[in-house]
Amino acid sequence: MSENAPTSLTRRGVMRAFAATALAAAPTYTNAFGLLRGAGDIRRIAMYSGRTGESIDTIYWIEGDYIPEAMAEINHFMRDWRNAKTVNIDTRALDIWAASRSLMETDEPYMMLSGYRSPETNAMLRSRSRSVARNSLHMKGQAADLRMQNRSVSQMARAAAACNAGGVGKYSRSNFVHMDCGPVRIWGG
């Protein structure tokens, strides 16, 4: 680079460069939240939606700071696909999803079946199914129903439960796991 060449470093460009080196050097821990803490730490989420055809693979946290641009992308991605309403996704839930995925030692993205649900969508789904909670944490941006092709429901549920940080529901017949940042509890089969 010459002395007179313009420099146009953006925050996103710096993040990508940092992430590429940090991912290669990231240590592995057995405790889920140990994995998400420490100097040089990054947090990443990767998901796709069969409903919208969209995908997201983004670093949303670097060394103690949630990245506003990444959080905005996540909020939009996890919107209620039926009416396009959004809410701020709870970062505690996001951290559980990232930690669980890391514990499974996979690069495969989650398939998101349900992220944020507006009260109208939740009421409609509740009228069709007894398994939809009246005060669902989906309506607060604190829950997601997730699936993976290369991990079983049991493997996903064990990883989420190892976080000891929220609710884990196994829905084996429907092939998904509910993960939330509410009270610690486990249900389903």
| DSSP strands (E only) in the chain | 42-48, 55-62, 65-66, 110-114, 143-147, 167-171, 176-180, 185-188
pLDDT value at residue 179: 98
Q: Are 68 and 11 in contact (CB under 8 A)?
A: no
pTM of this structure: 0.78
- How far is 44 from 42, CA to CA, in rounded Å? 7
Cβ burial of 65 (10 Å; 0-12, 13-18, 19+) is: exposed
More confident residue, 132 or 143: 143
Per CATH, which fold does 11-188 belong to? Muramoyl-pentapeptide Carboxypeptidase; domain 2 (3.30.1380)
- How far is 63 from 85, CA to CA, in rounded Å? 30
pLDDT digit string, tens, across residues 92-132: 999 999 999 999 999 999 999 999 999 999 999 999 988 88
